[in-house]
Structure 1
Amino acid sequence: MGTDTKSDSSTTPSSFTSVLRHDLPASLVVFLVAVPLCLGIAVASGAPLAAGLVAGAVGGVVAGLLGGSAVQVSGPAAGLALVVADLVTRYGWRATCMITLMAGGLQLLLGVFRVARAALAVSPAVVHGMLAGVGVVIALSQLHVVLGGAPQSSAVENLAELPRQIADHHGPPVLAGLLTIAVLAVWTRLPQRLRVVPAPLAALATASVTAVVLGWDVTRIDLSVGLSGWSAPAWPLGDWHGIATAVLLVALLAGVESLLCSVAVDKLHDGRRADLDKELTAQGVANMVSGALGGLPVAGVIVRSTANARAGARSRWSATLHGVWILLFALGLGWSVAFIPMEALAALLVFIGVQMVNVGHVRNLRGHGEVPVYFVTLSGVVLLGLAEGVLLGLGLAALLALRRLTWVTVRAVPEADGRWHVLIGGSLTFLGVPRLTSELCAIPAGTAVDLDLNIDFMDNAAFEAVHTWRQNHERGGGTVDIDEIHDEWYAMAASGARMFPAKTPPVAPDRWWLPWSHRRRRRPMSAGGLIPVRHVSGDGAPGGGVPGDGATGDPGGPAVPDLLAGAREFHRRTAPLVRPVLHGLARKQEPSHLFITCADSRIVPNLITASGPGDLFTVRNIGNLVPRRGAAPADHSVAASIEYATGVLDVRTITVCGHSGCGAMAALLDGGGKAAELPGLGHWLRHGAPSLARFVSTGGDDAGSGPLDRLCRVNVIQQLENLRTHPEVDRRVRAGRLELVGLYFDIGAARVHVLDHSPASADGAPGCSALGVRLAPEVKQAVLPPGRHEQ
């Protein structure tokens, strides 16, 4: 990062230079974006125009200096316009300023008590639905102003009145508004050099200049009562319950919008992450100051914050300076606002309102099943009001969350031997009892049932339903074998044990298949930087301690501690699970497959084949090579493994598995240059010469793959042919007792492909098809082990 933002209280020479290079230009861009929006939001809120400029200046300077986000910009927010408009109508403007001041005090207290992250518990579907609803209401009301009329008291009335408003002829005012919308719509399609000027400023300037030049009779903005017309906030008159509700609503809406904006803006820059409690405190102070000075409520605004980040801002000085520019504009250039037609400003608000209905948010919510929450909130805000719409959205979100938490999966499947296999998963509560009993009662009487309970909770109603069904089924001559995968909820309830606590979800196991580097935890360091690691004896009992990284001086770092920690993890978690299986395999192995693959550390045969102990007899070497019988230099290791697998273990399949980006194949393509300093490797790679010759003879690359990956696949086919040079393998293949399979593992895509090695392949080039995808007619599908699923 080019800017040091660690120090908030002082500006070093290097950071001062960064402010001049990055933050100063960005602040000017944000200032040009902010001024039209401040004026427009003031109009939509029914507040004095100067209140928007005051809020913009205070939000920039106060929230910018004190805030916890590096590039977030605060000011009047369109999402609060409906609340403010309602408060102005109900209590008057001066009382609304007092409500803003008190809401800021509440935000300050919440920030001091460090509860900012609790705001992130609000469903984004509710927030986006609320903003979309506000946008619809603003667009509908301001569209009447664009058409030369006046907005109605509600969105429904605005919508009903719109046809008559459109039918009337309004002359130049409508042209000013339509011109503004046209400029806003086409501005993003103009060349980059023209888009240096922000679209809102360009649209208002175009409409203003056109109105002056053509002499249009439009409504002018009146800023005569500017900053000099300040008056102290007044206490709102009315029921204190309503006042308290208004304070709470402003504080929470402004706070949540600011915090969500901070989280979103963090994704747009590489600087320090936002301190949400500090940001909420700063927003509280800014609202207190804005309310005291006669400004609108302040919140973090995503439009200005995005513009700030894209303009290259590096620190909070950009937001602060933008507030200074707004203040200077209000004091020195406020008179220029009088040239802006009110219809143009209303058109800007219509455009902003439409943009607040973001279709991208709907797409993101669709995959999580939260679209109904979005549209219910939107509809509630438009038809009923802001608070009502938010409450409806929150209620629906809570109901959907409760439904997900209590959702139960019941699947009953008849087996070939006449038994029934029933799987019940989820949280078993009284809400799932109707479906549970319906599925269980559909099982024929007198049958043998294997019931798997994969649940994390079972209340009394669910237990009674399962237990009663079991008793009735067994009375009818059937049998029920219950296997509980997690906690023994059913067994404990049946024995009369107390189920406490009410819910004990199982501890999620470590993702054992991840590399150590992805799972490594912090280990407590002892004196001298040693990591205490204990020896593990053959029976799993801990022995004496061994030093870690620092003690051994091993340049490999934490390799030994990782290995021993992994052994301890095996004894603690995995050994109890696999011990019964391994106990049965201890005397004899009966694998069905010989699996020949590369020694590459990224290839884990049991992982990519979903196999377990006793399934695969594995041979690994560099390049997954199978030397031809009698080849020089002689290799007895692979030949011995093949003889033992076929002659003693009687395997039914031999699989050769290559992979993408194989280093051995890269060395072959390089002509052996990479192995020049490794004589043993050079001798071994001579067994890859037939693969290289086959690759050269087959010609060009496959579409979408380079020469290296194509050689990796050709090499697999060649090794399958090399296997046929071993007499026992060839005899068993001809007799139909052994099948040869070629696999290719694409590491980057984590995908296993089956390679076609049939004689019908004229050019010898291997075709391939991903497992789990419909295979092409010319591609043979590998025979997987019985009971194994394609991965």
Structure 2
Amino acid sequence: MSTSPLPSLPLRPPPIGRWLREDARFDVPASLVVFLVAIPLSLGIAVASGAPVAAGLIAAAVGGIVAGLVGGSVLQVSGPAAGLTVIVAETVASYGWEVTCLITAGAGILQILLGATRVGRLALAISPTVVHGMLAGIGITIVLGQLNVAMGGQSQSSAWGNLTQYATSLASLDLQALVAAASVVAVMVAWPRLPSRVRAVPAALVAIAGVTVVAALVLPQAQRVDLGGSVLSQIGLPPMPDGQWLGIAGAVITVALIASVESLLSAVAVDKLAAQRADAPTPRPSNLDRELLGQGAANSLSGLLGGLPVTGVIVRSATNVASGGRTQMSAILHGAWVVVFSLLLVALVEQIPLAALAGLLIVMGVGLVKPRDIATAQQRGEGWIYGATIAGVLALNLVEGVLIGLTGAVLVLLFRILRVGISARRSGVDADGRDVWVVSVRGTVSFLSTPRLVRALDQVPPGQHVEIDLLVDYLDPATQETLDGWMQRYHAAGGVVEVQASGTMASASEVRSGKPDPVTLRTMLPWDHWQPVDGSARTPTERLAGGIREYHRRGPDVLEQVYDELRDGQSPDALVLSCVDSRVVLNLVTASGPGDLFTVRTMGNLVPDPAGADCSVSAPFDFAVDHLDVPLVAVLGHSGCGAMAAALGDRLHGPIGEWMAHADEAVDAWRSGHPIGRAAAAAGESEADQLSQVNVAVALDRLRAMAGERAGDLTFVGLWFRIDDGSMHLLCDGAFTPLVDAELSQLAPRGRLTGVSAAR
């Protein structure tokens, strides 16, 4: 079987001729779906921002066309976003709409400068918990304000103002507005539960269009959207403000930073969504600096034309991905459809009940408060940061709320850096009858931790056997001197001290002498290197027991975090058949961990004939394919294989000879001039290694035959590991080639192995 990797999409819009031939049939339908989603959202966000309704349409058109042409994300769709509604509303209330347009244009220029200086990735340094808390605070603020509109009242500029306005809104309750808003909410909530064919039509479009039609018949008094004339009549350059320059400059920086962070986070999320598509090419990762340039250009033009601020919008972008968009043309066309709609269907827009848009915004606002974000923050111990950010946004304003969250995130970071786990405990008796004491030191060790370390060392009685267990990533000079001095005194008093270290630091003396750390468990070094290098001989039993003790001593995080997720079952990414050779450590050569690989090991990675009675491979194969749904089957051979050397020698007797009979087909194929064997011979491989490579192809053929009709749902990969230099080789086009960075696209175009194996 041969599986070719899907090509990567280009970063720039494709030439029009090639686009018409290859991608237009995907991008045009996707652009129409995104357009249908964008129209009601743009109108609603404009209303929530206190801006002219036409400003939402201008921003949608400019965001789609300009950011699509200039930006660095293939499938992201830009336009007015709910995440900026609060800050825009505050800006409009403080400076007026025309100055807000100037602020938007200024924010765009600042974004262009940020993109040109290549600092786009720095925006991702903001704690995700703070960003999620900011969005949740915005969502709650939107809901509080739009509840007043849904009752026929007016949205206020602050959360507290909206809460105090409820009494007035209830006293003058407009039932027609309430019915319109509630109807939209009901449609939006019920829509995801309908059949998939029905859900193909955007819920927001159905809700707004349906309520508009019904309102024309039974809700004649409901307040309608007022565009204030044609969209073209509202386009114009904003005037220069009179004074308040410091406040305006602060608003420019605020809009630029928040719009940049939201756009970049959205671009990263869209890349992940696009990579998960199984039926479309994987786009190139977003160029974040160029995306900032695109967002800046869109904001500059949107502000100059009288539009809202523009960001990358995850709702529209996710719709674009789900609808099959392939290139930037889907975003650009969506903007073009908005232009056509704004020019030709103004009268239709003005039939939409204002409360219907309030209902849509209420659903959007609730959607910004994600239970998954709350759970993630709590798991990280950052739930209070999430809550503090929300409280700051609600009680003060968006900027101050984010600053409160960032301050909390920095404090947590400092606490984690300074928090060091130090303990001393008695763990047994050594061969000389001494008590064994273990002093554990974990974390980043600075001079601030030295007093705690001294207290722990003082707990150890004199003349005993002490093991100082260092699992640290930094050990400052003060602590090194303290440890050295204590060890010298303890040795002089007749005690024994051993230092076991992992991470990037070893014992104090080794750190100063520049010797490399002999123990680095995190990278799963070969067995001999797992143990401390103390010059003493160890029996195999002692080495095994020492390794187990080392695992339990240094593995609580693994036990707690990894295995807790695997307690209820396994879902491995691949079935890997490899040799029993002790030098082939699967987790090491594949950089995988618990739950990643379902492994089957046989002598010589041989596969018995599927038609025979031996089910030592077929049984685990069937279990992995039928019960665990592994998508990938790999065979891993290696150089210097003793089984392959034995297969070329005299026939062995007993169980080993019976097993080696399974290599006969590979031996016959090699002697008959199998192309893989010829390629290996031309590369100067030994006869045993030639046979080893041929055997991988034969094993793949047998596993493919074992799969039968299921083979079409599986990917088969041939791998070969060279022990003398630790390199991995991929079976591709009838030969094994070294697997290097330039070839990773062949092996993992969408995050999974998808190599090819050559049939004879």
**TM-score, normalised with respect to structure 1:** 0.64
Q: Distance in 2 between matches of 1:161 and 1:118?
A: 40
Equivalent position amino acid for 1:230 in 2: I
Give yes or no for contact 2:500–2:532 (8 Å, CA) kept in 1.
no
Equivalent position amino acid for 1:377 in 2: T
Give yes or no for contact 1:2–1:18 (8 Å, CA) kept in 2.
no
Give yes or no for contact 1:52–1:76 (8 Å, CA) kept in 2.
yes
Give yes or no for contact 2:303–2:309 (8 Å, CA) kept in 1.
yes
Equivalent position amino acid for 1:206 in 2: G
Shift, 1:391, TM fit: 0.8
Shift, 1:686, TM fit: 7.9
Paired-residue identity, % = 42
Which of 79, 84, 91 does residue 83 from structure 2 map onto? 79
Do residues 663 (structure 1) and 675 (structure 2) align?
no
Residues 735-773 of structure 1: CA distance to partner in whole angstroms, max 9, x if unpaired? Answer: xxxxxxxxxxxxxxxxxxxxxxxxxxxxxxxxxxxxxxx
Which structure has the bigger radius of gyration? Answer: 1
Give yes or no for contact 1:73–1:319 (8 Å, CA) kept in 2.
yes
> Matched residue of 1:449: which SS?
strand
Q: Distance in 2 between matches of 1:665 and 1:2?
A: 33
Do residues 110 (structure 1) and 126 (structure 2) align?
no
Aligned to 1:380: 392
- Higher RCO structure (Cα 8 Å, ≥6 apart): 2
Aligned to 1:94: 98
Shift, 1:161, TM fit: 4.7
Aligned to 1:291: 303
Give yes or no for contact 1:58–1:323 (8 Å, CA) kept in 2.
yes
Closer, same or farther: CA 103–507 of 1 in aligned 2, 3 Å: farther
Shift, 1:160, TM fit: 4.9
Equivalent position amino acid for 1:159 in 2: L
Equivalent position amino acid for 1:372 in 2: W
> Matched residue of 2:86: which SS?
helix
Do residues 439 (structure 1) and 456 (structure 2) align?
yes
Do residues 403 (structure 1) and 415 (structure 2) align?
yes
Aligned to 2:402: 390
Aligned to 2:679: none
Q: Distance in 2 between matches of 1:287 and 1:216?
A: 38
Closer, same or farther: CA 218–483 of 1 in aligned 2, 3 Å: same
Give yes or no for contact 1:287–1:297 (8 Å, CA) kept in 2.
yes
Equivalent position amino acid for 1:303 in 2: V
Runs of 5+ in structure 1 lacking a partner? 515-569, 594-598, 611-623, 625-656, 690-707, 710-791
Equivalent position amino acid for 1:344 in 2: A
Give yes or no for contact 1:105–1:285 (8 Å, CA) kept in 2.
yes
Instruction: Give the helix-richer structure, 1 or 2.
Output: 2
Do residues 154 (structure 1) and 158 (structure 2) align?
yes
Give yes or no for contact 1:135–1:357 (8 Å, CA) kept in 2.
yes
> Matched residue of 2:422: which SS?
strand
Do residues 234 (structure 1) and 239 (structure 2) align?
yes
Q: Distance in 2 between matches of 1:366 and 1:590?
A: 42
Equivalent position amino acid for 1:379 in 2: A
Closer, same or farther: CA 216–662 of 1 in aligned 2, 3 Å: farther
Give yes or no for contact 1:457–1:505 (8 Å, CA) kept in 2.
no
Shift, 1:194, TM fit: 2.2
Shift, 1:250, TM fit: 0.8
> Matched residue of 1:339: which SS?
coil
Equivalent position amino acid for 1:231 in 2: G
Give yes or no for contact 1:3–1:315 (8 Å, CA) kept in 2.
no
Q: Distance in 2 between matches of 1:26 and 1:199?
A: 16
Shift, 1:126, TM fit: 1.3
Do residues 251 (structure 1) and 217 (structure 2) align?
no
Shift, 1:139, TM fit: 0.7
Residues 390-423 of structure 1: CA distance to partner in whole angstroms, max 9, x if unpaired? Answer: 1111111122222222321213121333232212
Closer, same or farther: CA 661–452 of 1 in aligned 2, 3 Å: closer
Residues 120-169 of structure 1: CA distance to partner in whole angstroms, max 9, x if unpaired? Answer: 21111111111111011001110111012223342134235546745764
Give yes or no for contact 1:408–1:426 (8 Å, CA) kept in 2.
yes
Give yes or no for contact 1:425–1:455 (8 Å, CA) kept in 2.
yes
After TM superposition, list the pairs within 5 Å mapping 1:563-582 onto structure 2.
Answer: 580=535
Give yes or no for contact 1:3–1:18 (8 Å, CA) kept in 2.
no
Q: Distance in 1 between matches of 2:193 and 2:259?
A: 33
Do residues 272 (structure 1) and 284 (structure 2) align?
yes
Equivalent position amino acid for 1:174 in 2: L
Shift, 1:60, TM fit: 0.5
Closer, same or farther: CA 447–237 of 1 in aligned 2, 3 Å: farther
Aligned to 2:197: 193
Equivalent position amino acid for 1:45 in 2: S
Deviates more, 1:57-66 or 1:11-20: 11-20
Aligned to 1:429: 446
Q: Distance in 2 between matches of 1:608 and 1:506?
A: 19
Give yes or no for contact 2:80–2:309 (8 Å, CA) kept in 1.
yes
> Matched residue of 2:198: which SS?
coil
Aligned to 1:523: none
Give yes or no for contact 1:458–1:489 (8 Å, CA) kept in 2.
no
Aligned to 2:211: 207
Q: Distance in 2 between matches of 1:348 and 1:56?
A: 17
Give yes or no for contact 1:50–1:227 (8 Å, CA) kept in 2.
no
Shift, 1:210, TM fit: 1.4
Give yes or no for contact 2:40–2:204 (8 Å, CA) kept in 1.
yes
Provide the aligned C-alpha RMSD in A.
4.3
Equivalent position amino acid for 1:348 in 2: L
Shift, 1:43, TM fit: 0.8
Residues 641-687 of structure 1: CA distance to partner in whole angstroms, max 9, x if unpaired? Answer: xxxxxxxxxxxxxxxx989997348574269999xx99959986785
Q: Distance in 2 between matches of 1:513 and 1:75?
A: 50
After TM superposition, list the pairs within 5 Å mapping 1:289-438 onto structure 2.
Answer: 289-417=301-429, 418-433=435-450, 435-438=452-455
Q: Distance in 1 between matches of 2:519 and 2:244?
A: 51
Residues 89-112 of structure 1: CA distance to partner in whole angstroms, max 9, x if unpaired? Answer: 111111111111111111111111
Shift, 1:360, TM fit: 2.0
Give yes or no for contact 2:437–2:467 (8 Å, CA) kept in 1.
yes
Shift, 1:367, TM fit: 3.8
> Matched residue of 2:240: which SS?
coil
Shift, 1:54, TM fit: 0.4
After TM superposition, list the pairs within 5 Å mapping 1:508-587 onto structure 2.
Answer: 511=523, 580=535
Which of 182, 191, 211 does residue 178 from structure 1 map onto? 182
Aligned to 1:58: 62
Equivalent position amino acid for 2:416 in 1: R
Q: Distance in 2 between matches of 1:400 and 1:117?
A: 22
Shift, 1:371, TM fit: 3.1
Report how many aligned residue pairs link the two structures.
572
**TM-score, normalised with respect to structure 2:** 0.67
Shift, 1:240, TM fit: 3.0
Shift, 1:450, TM fit: 3.3
Q: Distance in 1 between matches of 2:218 and 2:542?
A: 94
Equivalent position amino acid for 1:346 in 2: A
> Matched residue of 1:194: which SS?
helix
Give yes or no for contact 2:13–2:328 (8 Å, CA) kept in 1.
no
Do residues 451 (structure 1) and 451 (structure 2) align?
no
Q: Distance in 1 between matches of 2:617 and 2:500?
A: 58
Runs of 5+ in structure 2 lacking a partner? 275-281, 430-434, 546-575, 588-599, 619-646, 661-701, 704-760
Q: Distance in 2 between matches of 1:461 and 1:592?
A: 35
Residues 8-52 of structure 1: CA distance to partner in whole angstroms, max 9, x if unpaired? Answer: 365254421334311011111000000111111111111111111
Deviates more, 1:358-367 or 1:397-406: 358-367
Closer, same or farther: CA 164–12 of 1 in aligned 2, 3 Å: closer
Give yes or no for contact 2:499–2:507 (8 Å, CA) kept in 1.
no
Q: Distance in 2 between matches of 1:126 and 1:592?
A: 46
Give yes or no for contact 1:448–1:478 (8 Å, CA) kept in 2.
no
Aligned to 1:483: 499
Shift, 1:215, TM fit: 3.7
Give yes or no for contact 1:96–1:236 (8 Å, CA) kept in 2.
no
Closer, same or farther: CA 424–665 of 1 in aligned 2, 3 Å: farther
Give yes or no for contact 2:28–2:333 (8 Å, CA) kept in 1.
yes
Closer, same or farther: CA 376–660 of 1 in aligned 2, 3 Å: farther
Give yes or no for contact 2:119–2:289 (8 Å, CA) kept in 1.
yes
Give yes or no for contact 2:580–2:605 (8 Å, CA) kept in 1.
no
Q: Distance in 2 between matches of 1:405 and 1:581?
A: 36
